[in-house]
Structure formats: structure tokens, C-alpha cells
A and B are shown apart, each in its own frame.
Chain A
Amino acid sequence: TQLLEQSPQFLSIQEGENLTVYCNSSSVFSSLQWYRQEPGEGPVLLVTVVTGGEVKKLKRLTFQFGDARKDSSLHITAAQTGDTGLYLCAGAATDSWGKFQFGAGTQVVVTP
């Protein structure tokens, strides 16, 4: 059973467009991470958020952690073909250090 629900499951956009993917849960997390995974490789960490309401920016990527620490969003501005990949969110429960529950992921395809 996935505790983290990601939406949409699949997203196809053209280069230059903006996109937002969501990660929702009924559970409170002590921290939440976003990863990007490319075919044939393991996930690579993009960001960690720990404070409710926190917003972090990584170049064209903006990450937000919900006030109640139950949800998060990833917004990409002016998407590039290099942004193509599977975006995974992972949450750590407050009483389980190091044990991250992963969402099913959002497959993003950016076309030229």
C-alpha cells in the first residue's frame, strides 16, 4: 500500500512549458525528499524539505512542503528536454529514521 500518492502518473509537455507534480499523504512526515530517476539508473536526490511551509529552489525547480507536512509539490519552469525522467517523492515518518516510503512516481516527458 502506497502511503504517498503522486499525481499525475504521466505528464507530457513541450519544451518551454511549465509543469507541477504533486505528492500527497494522510501521514505527517518529518522530512520529504524528491528524486529524479532516468532509465537504467538509480534515483538521484534533488532536494530534502523538513519544515512545514518550506520552499526550496534549485534553478528552474521549485519545491514546496505543505504547512502540515503531509504534502509537497514540485514545479518546473520552462521545462527542458533534460528534465525528462521519473520524479519520485519519498517521506520519512516522524518515528522511523532513515526509512523512506516512496511514491509511485510521475513520469515526465519533455519534447522539443
Chain B
Amino acid sequence: DAGVIQSPRHEVTEMGQEVTLRCKPISGHNSLFWYRQTMMRGLELLIYFNNNVPIDDSGMPEDRFSAKMPNASFSTLKIQPSEPRDSAVYFCASWGTNNNEQFFGPGTRLTVL
């Protein structure tokens, strides 16, 4: 089992550019979560999906952020346009119905200059 896969692991971009982060959940898991982690705000839930459907996006900071889950094995988090305050580590996690555990990916470290 490869675990949750995220790409890229590191992203450096300039302010105003579009950024797309990708996540492949663990096969068979039907819930997927996107988090953002910063020193100031800790680990924040941005959005989560259940069976590919967005259930709660109240944590998405503003309209510049959007997330999709076109199928059970892939999700994207897009920031357009990016700003320096978006710099953070973004984690994806998946959850299966047969256990009570979120499995986190290794994260994408985003730096917006």
C-alpha cells in the first residue's frame, strides 16, 4: 500500500500564478480531506469530500481556492491567483469506512514569492 500520494512535494511560484496541488487517496477510502498547516494557524481543515462529493468547504479561505474530486482516486486543490500569504504546507488525508483513522500524505510545501 503506497499510502496517500501528493504532488508536487515542493512548489515555488510567484504571486499571481495559478497553483494546482494533487492528491491520490488510499484505494478504497471514500473520504478525502485537504488541510493547510502554518506556524501561525496550525493545521486547518479546508474542505472534505465523501464519495467524491464536497461535504464541507467552510474552511476554504476565499474564492481564490477551489477543490475538485472527479473520481475516487484523484483530487486537486487549486489556488488562482496565488498570494504570499498562501505559503504553507498543504496536506491531503483519506479515510476509510472500516476504520476511524485519517491517513495523511507527506504534504506539499508551497512558497509564493
Contacts and interface: CB of A to CB of B under 8 A. Distances in A.
Interface of A: 2, 31, 40-45, 48, 88, 96, 98-105
A101 B42 CA distance: 10
A42 B43 CA distance: 11
Ranked 10 nearest A-B pairs via Cβ = A42-B104, A102-B43, A104-B42, A45-B101, A48-B100, A42-B91, A43-B104, A42-B105, A42-B107, A42-B106
Contacts of A105: 42-43
B90 to A, nearest CB: 11
Interface in B51-79: 55-56
16 contacts: A40-B107, A41-B107, A42-B91, A42-B93, A42-B106, A42-B107, A43-B43, A43-B91, A45-B101, A88-B42, A98-B31, A98-B33, A98-B50, A99-B45, A100-B45, A102-B45
Interface of B: 4, 31, 33, 35, 42-45, 48, 50, 55-56, 91, 93, 95, 100-107
A41 B93 CA distance: 12
**For A48, A102, A105, which residue has the most chain B Cβ atoms within 10 angstroms?**
A102
Contacts of A48: 100-101
A99 B48 contact: yes
A88 B43 contact: yes
